[in-house]
Homo-oligomer: A and B are copies of this chain.
């Protein structure tokens, strides 16, 4: 990769923006592993750009919670302890349970049909594959939040989703809960259709709980070795 960060089809008109996307992908794909340090000189060279735009991209990814920046030491792919992962799932509950409640009131039939279609597609896709890292656009949870029509809520949910996704890359083996998840998704959709708020929120809460337990159970020891500091960049 000596070419300036190409290969991207996006219309980001700026190196800094394209680099942000590329780095985010590298982090979530596991190309950059949690705890790993980003050497600015090396990385900039391999991306074919200078350190300026690279640093700007790093700043933004740090704000997003995917990187940890330590003054005078550099940027590291963020690591998560057990407790932090639990926190993320709790935050996710806050957002998605609220989304479910709102959808019980607001969702149009078309919205729910949309969700059902997505579920069918996912169902057929995973019939063969183990636990593919399917594109996030196809994710039931995000689609559900999208239907609320609240951009701020969606942005928050997306950020949490990404952090959880990163945390999951810390464990080598992936829990293959995909099929069970689909079933639970279907149940939730069912409750949504019935406009049964109590049941829908309960099912969603349980589902997220299961998802968390599955994720945490395969997580390495909470004792992180090679780590600089915790928390986000600033205090």
Contact = CB atoms under 8 A, between A and B. Distances in A.
Interface in A5-35: 10, 12-14, 16-17, 20-21
A231 B151 contact: yes
A60 B57 CA distance: 9
A87 to B, nearest CB: 4
Nearest to A95: B94
Contacts of A231: 151
Contact of A234 (B12, B62, B95, B151): B12
What is the interface of chain A mostly: helix, strand, loop, or mixed?
helix
Interface string A202-235: 0000000000000000000000000000011111
B232 A155 contact: yes
Given A56-B59, A94-B94, A152 B84 contact: yes
A193 interface: no
Contacts of A87: 150-153
Interface size band for A: 35 or more
A221 B163 CA distance: 37
A232 B17 CA distance: 12
A55 interface: yes
Interface in A150-169: 150-153, 155-156, 160, 163
Contacts of A88: 152
Interface string A95-127: 101110010000000000000000000000000
A150 B91 contact: yes
A150 B13 contact: no
Contacts of A20: 234
A90 interface: yes
Nearest to A12: B234
CB-CB nearest 4 A-B residue pairs: A94-B98, A63-B63, A87-B152, A59-B59
Interface of A: 10, 12-14, 16-17, 20-21, 52, 55-56, 59-60, 62-64, 71-72, 84, 87-88, 90-91, 93-95, 97-99, 102, 150-153, 155-156, 160, 163, 231-235
